[in-house]
Amino acid sequence: MAECNCENPLVPSMVEVVDIKDETPDVKTFYVRSENGGVPFNVMPGQLAMVSHVPVGEGMFSVSWQEENDHLQFAIKSVGLLTEQLHNIDIGQMIGVRGPYGNGFPVEECKGKDMLFIGGGIGLAPLRSFIKYCFKYREDYGKITIIYGSRSYADLCFKDELFEKWPAMKDTEVFVTIDNEEENWSGHVGFVPSYLQEINPDPQGLIAVTCGPPIMIKFVLQALEKMGFTDEQVITTLEARMKCGIGKCGRCNIGSEYICLDGPVFNLAQLKKLPPEW
Amino acid sequence: MREITNQIKDIARKLFEEKKIDMFLAWEKSEFDFQSMPFFARSAEEVEKIIFDEFSVHNLSNALLRFRDGKQRIGIVVKGCDSRGIVRLLEDHQFTRDRLYIVGVCCPGMKDPLKAFRNESGFEKTANADLEADKCNDCIQPNPVIYDVLLGEEQPPRMQGERFKKVKEIEAMTPDERYAFFEDKLSTCIRCYACRQACVACNCRTCIFDESRPQWVGREANTSDNMMYHIIRASHMTGRCIECGECERVCPVHIPLMLLNQKLIKDVDSFFGPFDAGLKYEEGAKPPLSQYRENDPDDFL
Amino acid sequence: MKVMKKAKVEKVIEALAKEHDVYVPIQRGAQTGFFSYRTYNEDYDDIMLDTLNVYQPPKSIVFPQTEKMYGFKSEGQKINIDQVFEESEPKIIFGLRSCDLKAIDYLDELFFTKSYEDEFYRARRKSTVMIVNACYNPGTSCFCDSMGVSPNEPENADVLIHDIGEGDFAWEAKSDKGEAVTELIKDLLEEQEATLPTLKNFKRKVDYEGVAEKLKDMFDHPMWEDMSYPCHNCGICTYMCPTCYCFDIQVKTAGEEGYRFRCWDSCMYREYSQMAGGHNPRELDKERFRNRFLHKLQFFQERYGEPLCTGCGRCIVVCPAGVSIIKVIEKVKEADV
C-alpha cells in the first residue's frame, strides 16, 4: 500500500501543465510539472493519482508515465464533465494532483519473466507505464509481447510508440488490431480477445497483464484461462468511480477490498476471491 | 379486514393457478403487529402470507416501476389513492394495462406503521396516541378508480371541511412570513430522497437530481440547495401528483411536502381545471401541463 | 459517587458550554437529534436525557453531512488553494448512548487506520469529549448487545453518566479528557451514595455469530432479490445510520472563487458507483441493496474486525418499506448454502 507523505491527503498540490499531446480525437496526454520543477511525487507503474481541474472536479487516473524527476504524464479520455473540461485547457494551466494511490503493478515479481500486455482503447494508458518500465530496465525482463486494439485507427493511443518505438525494441513484438475494416488499414481487424486467441501465446514463463473496457477484460480473462494461464499469471488493473482515493469514501469497493488502496492491480487469483462487481 | 384479506388471497391464488400472473403485490406482516410491509408473492404457496389490514398504508403502484421493463403480468392490490397511481403510470406510459390485474379495495382510512413505530421507538419525547395516517385525513378518493375487481364497501371521502384549507393559510401569509416558514421546514431536509423514491409520479429514468452534466442542484445539504430540490420536485409534480401522501409520510424530518403539492393541485385546478390527477383513466388522456391549449392562461407573460 | 442533581443538569451544560460547543439530545419541534446548546431555545426545545435516544445520530458532529474542505481562487491559469478548513473547536457530545459511541469508534477505525489518516475528521474528533449516558432500559428496536456493544459499560467513554432516578445522574470520569471536563464543573456535582440501575432484558436478540463467514458464500443467493423488492433505494437508512460513512467530494465554484466540500453519500443511489464512461458495477437496485448489507455484515468485519452495525435500530424504525437488518441477519442464518 502506498505511503502518504503529505499533510492532508485530500488536499491536492498544484502543478503546471507543461505540454498537451493529442493521442486520438478524444484522448490527450497531459504533461505536468511542479511549479518549482520536477514531479510532485514519485509514482510506480500502475499507480493512480487524483487529478483536479480545481473549479470543475476531481477524477482518478492512472499515471501513464513518470519521466525521471521531470514530469508526470496522464493520458485522459474525454468521457464526462471533468475530462471534457480538462480537454479544453491550454498549456500553462495549473491543475491539482494528489497521490500516488494504489498498489501498482508487481514490477519486482515479474522480473525475469516474459511479458504479455493486452490492452484495449484507453486501457493502454496504465499498461504503458509498465511497458515503458520494462524497456527502461530491459535486461530485467524477457520477451515482450504487446497486443492492443481500438475501435478504429484514429482511436489507437500512443501511435508513435506503438508503430515505431516499441516494435524497434529488442526482443519485442507488437500486435495491433482495430474493430472494423478501414481504408488504408492493412493490419489485423477484429476484437482484442479473438486476436489474442489467434496469436495464442504459450503460457510457459509468461505473465499476462491486461487492461481495457470491463467487457474486454472479461473475455480476455476467459481466453487466457482457456490457453492454460494460471490465475497467478494473469494480472489486470481495474477502475471504479472514486472520490477520496484513500480508502475512506466507500464506493470503489469490491467486497472488502478497495480499488484505490488495495488495487487497482489484482491478479486473477485475487480477483476470483472477490465478488464479481467490477 | 380479515374478510378482505381472504378475498384477496382467493383471487391471487386463482390467478396463479390459472397462470394469469407471475407476481402479486400486496402486504405481509413483519415483526410487529403494526408492521405491514409490501410483499411480492410469486407463487400460489406464497399467497398464504398475504394480509390486508389497517396498516396497509403503502402505495404499491410505485413498486410497479421496478418491473416496468419486464414482461411479468402482475396482480396488485390498490386503495383509492393507489389506484390513482396506476392511472399515473398508464398515462405516463410506464406500464400497460394488459400486464395488470388490479384488485381494488375501498379504503376506510389507514394507520401509519411509521407513526406506530415512532411511538414504540423511544426516540421521541411524546407518544402519538392517534395512529391514523395523516395523509388519510385529506383523502378525496377512498374508492379505487380503476380495477378488475372491487372489494369492500364504498367509503365516503375522509376529508372533512374545506379542501386546501392549509394551503390557504400559507397563501394568506406575507411573502416574508411564507419564506420564513418554508426556510424553517426545508432547512432540515437531509436529502435522503425518500420522498422521491416513494413517489409514483417520480418515474423519470434519470432524475434531474442525479444528472451531473449539468448538475442542476448542488449536493450540499443546505437551505438553498434543499429549497432548489423541493421546488423543482414540486413543480415536476404539477398536475401529476395523485395525492397518495407517501412523500410526506416517509419523510424522516417531517417536512410538510403535501403542502407544496396541494398548492400546485389547487392552482392547476383553478388555471386549467377543473382537474384532479389520476381520477379517471382515458386512453391517450394527458395531464394539463403535458398539453398546450390556446386558451391556457398566460397572465405571467 | 459524584452525582449531577436534576436541578443542576442545565447548569452543568451551561458551564461546559463556556469553553466547548456542547451538543445535547433535544426534541426540536417534530425532530430529535443532537443540537448545539448555543441554538437551544427553552421555548421550543426539550432536552432528552430521559428518553432512549434521538433520531439523528451524533455522527454529524464529528463528520458533518456537508463539510467544506478547502477554498481556492483562480487568476487566469493560476489557481491557488488559499484555505484549508480543518475545524477543531473543542466540542462535547453530552448524553450520547453506547451504540452511537461505538459507531464513532468505527468511524475512528475508518478515518485513522489503513494507510491514511483523514485530517478533516481528526481535527473535529480529537477535540471532542464523549459524555455517555449509560443505557439500562433497551427499547423495542434495540439490539446493541447482539452486535457486541455494552449498553451500560461502554469502552472509550470520556465520562459515563447513569440515570439514578428522579432526574439525577451519577457521574464517572473515565479518561483524561473526562477528568478535565469534570474539573470544569466539579462544584456543580455532589458527593453522595448512589445505586446504579440494573440493566433490563433486551426485547430483541439476533445471532450475528458466524454471519460474516457464511455471507462469503451467499453473494448469489436468491434472498437478496427477494428482500430487496420492498426497498425503495432511498437514503434514509444510510443517513440515519450512526455508522454509515460513505461520502462524495464535490466542488462549488462562483466566478473566480470556490471551495471543495464533501457530503454524505448513499450506496443506495445509482449515481454512487456510476462511472463517467457509463459503466456501473452496481446498476441494479438489488445489487445496491446487497452491497449495503454485505458492507455492514461482512466486508467491514473482514477489513476492520467488527460489523458496521451497532444495533441502534434506527434504520428499522425509519424504513418506509419495513426493511429490517435483523431480518436480513436472520435470513442469512436460516439460508441453505
pLDDT digits (tens, 9 = 90+) for B174-200: 999 999 999 999 999 999 999 999 999
Domain finish residue from B138, B160, B182: B160
Distances in Å between the Cα of C202 and the Cα atoms of A29, A198, C145, C151, C154 are: 61, 66, 8, 10, 16
Amino acid code (one letter) for C47: I
Report the chain B residue with the minimal C-alpha distance to residue C229: B40
Q: C118–A10: do the CB atoms touch at under 8 Å?
A: yes
* pLDDT surpassing 90 at residue B1: no
**Residues C33, B124: Cα–Cα separation, whole Å:** 10
What span, in angstroms and rounded, lies between the C-alpha atoms of A179 and A149? Answer: 7
Q: Which domains does chain A have, with CATH numbers?
A: 13-101 (2.40.30.10), 114-237 (3.40.50.80)
Q: What is the least distance, in Å, from the CA of C223 to any CA of chain B?
A: 13
Q: Which of B160, B177, B206 is the last residue of a domain?
A: B160
Which chain A residues contact residue C108 at CB under 8 A? none
B121 and B190 inside one domain: no
Residues C213 and C253 in one domain: yes
Q: Quick one: pLDDT at residue A214?
A: 87
Can you tell me which residue has the cell 449536493?
A: B219
Domain shared by B137 and B218, yes or no: no
The rounded average pLDDT for each run of 10 residues, N- to C-terminus, in chain C (337 residues) is 95 96 94 96 93 96 96 94 94 97 97 95 96 96 95 96 95 97 96 94 94 96 95 96 96 94 94 86 93 97 97 95 95 93
Q: Do B177 and B142 reside in the same domain of the chain?
A: no
Say if CB C32 and CB B124 are below 8 A apart: yes
Map grid coordinates 477502475 to a residue. Answer: A239
Query: Looking at the structure, do residues B94 and B192 belong to the same domain, yes or no?
Result: no
- Report chain A residues whose CB lies below 8 A from the CB of B213: 80-81
Q: Is residue C307 part of a domain?
A: yes
Contact list in B for residue C262 (CB cut-off 8 A) is none
Whether residue B300 is contained in a domain is answered as no
Number of structural domains chain B divides into? 2
Domain co-membership, C229 together with C183:
no
Residues C114 and C41 in one domain: yes
Inside any domain, residue B35: yes
Percent of chain A scoring above 70 in pLDDT: 98
Question: Which of the listed residues B160, B180, B210 is the one where a domain comes to its end?
Answer: B160
Partner chains of B (3+ C-beta pairs under 8 Å): A, C
| Rounded (to 5) percent helix, strand, coil in chain B | 40, 10, 50
Q: Tell me, yes or no, if A80 comes closer than 8 A to chain B by beta carbon.
A: yes
Say whether residue B210 is in contact with chain A using an 8 A CB cutoff: no
Q: Give the domain extent around C264.
A: 206-337
Contacts of B252 in chain C (CB under 8 A): 55, 236, 239-240, 318
Element (H, E) at A175: strand A172-178
Q: What is the 3-state secondary structure (H, E, C) of chain C?
A: CEEECHHHHHHHHHHHHCCCEEEEEEEECCEEEEEEHHHCCCCCEEECCCCCCCCECCHHHHCCCEEEEEEEEEECCEEEEEEECCCCCCEEEEEECHHHHHHHHHHHHHHHCCCCCCHHHHHHHHCEEEEEECCCCCCCCCCHHHHCCCCCCCCCCCEEEEECCCCCEEEEECCHHHHHHHHHCHHHCEECCCCCCCCCCCCCCCCCCCHHHHHCCCCCCCHHHHHHCCCCCCCHHHHHCCCCCCEEEEEEEECCEEEEEEEECCCCCHHHHCCCCCCCCCCCHHHHHHHHHHHHHHHHHHHHCCCCCCCCCHHHHHCCCCCCHHHHHHHHHHCCC
Q: How confident is the model at residue B301 (pLDDT cuts 50, 70, 90)?
A: low
**B125 and B75, same structural domain?**
yes
C244 lies in the same domain as C310: yes
Same domain, C336 and C273: yes
Q: Could C72 and A55 be called an inter-chain contact, meaning their C-beta atoms sit closer than 8 Å?
A: yes
**Residue B22's pLDDT is what?**
97
Within-domain flag for B178 = yes
pLDDT (average), residues A134-141 = 96
| A65 sits in which H/E element | strand A65-67
Within its chain, how far is the Cα of C2 from the centroid?
28
Among C180, C205, C230, the domain-final residue is C205
Number of alpha carbons in the 13 Å side-chain half-sphere of residue C163: 20
B298 in any annotated domain? no
Say how many Å lie between the first and final Cα of chain B, rounded. 53
Q: Are C143 and C219 found together in one domain?
A: no
Q: Measuring CA to CA, which residue among B115, B152, B154, B155 is closest to residue B132?
A: B115
Distance of residue A238 Cα from the nearest chain C Cα, in angstroms:
11
pLDDT at residue A19, as a whole number = 97
The pLDDT tens digits for A190-244 are 999 999 999 999 999 999 999 999 899 999 999 999 999 999 999 999 988 999 9
Asked whether residue C112 falls in the same domain as residue C50, the answer is yes
In a domain, B294, yes or no: no
Whether the pLDDT of residue A4 is over 60: the answer is no
* CA–CA min distance A172, chain C (Å): 32
Nearest residue of A to residue B215 by CA position? A81
Chain B residue with the nearest C-alpha to that of C248? B219
**Chain A CB contacts of B212 below 8 Å:** 80-81
Query: How does the average pLDDT of chain B come out, rounded?
Result: 93
The answer to the question of residue C64 being in a domain is no
Within-domain flag for B9: yes
Chain B neighbors of C313, CB-CB under 8 A: 121
* Chain B residues closer than 8 Å to A80 by CB: 212-213
For residue B292, pLDDT over 90 is answered with: no
Residues C205-225 as b/e (b if ≥16 CB within 10 A, e otherwise) read ebebeebbebbeebeebeebb
Give the number of domains in chain C.
2
What is the four-CA torsion angle of A261, A267, A273, A277, rounded to 10 degrees?
Answer: 70
Residue A2 has pLDDT above 50, yes or no: no
Same domain, B108 and B168: no
Do B63 and B145 belong to one domain? Answer: yes
- Considering only the beta carbons, identify the residue of A7, A83, A239 that sits closest to C119: A7
Same domain, yes or no, for C2 and C108?
Answer: yes
Same-domain check for residues C2 and C118: yes
One domain, residues B139 and B244: no
C-alpha closest to that of A128 among A230, A211, A200: A211
Residues C211 and C93 in one domain: no
* Residue B46, domain member (yes or no): yes
Beta bridge partners of A17: A32
- The set of cell numbers assigned to B298 is 398566460
8 Å CB contact between B57 and B84 = no
Instruction: Please tell me the predicted confidence (pLDDT) of residue B287.
Output: 83
In a shared domain, residues C1 and C129: yes
Instruction: Residue B179: give the domain boundaries.
Output: 162-288
> Is the same domain home to B82 and B198?
no
Q: Is B299 domain-assigned?
A: no
Residues B152 and B168 in one domain: no
How much is the pLDDT for B127? 77
Confirm whether C65 is domain-assigned: no
Question: Which pLDDT score is estimated for A1?
Answer: 37
CA separation (Å) from A100 to A50, B123, C197? 8, 45, 53
Same domain, C193 and C225: no
Residue C248 has its nearest CB partner, among A92, A214, A243, at A243
Domain boundary among C205, C222, C251: C205
- Of C185, C205, C225, the residue that ends a domain is C205
User: Does C59 touch chain B if contact means CB atoms closer than 8 Å?
Assistant: no
Grid cell 390513482 in the structure block, residue? B84
Claim to verify: residue B133 and residue B170 sit in the same structural domain: no
pLDDT tier at A5, thresholds 50, 70, 90: very low
Query: Are B195 and B145 members of one domain?
Result: no
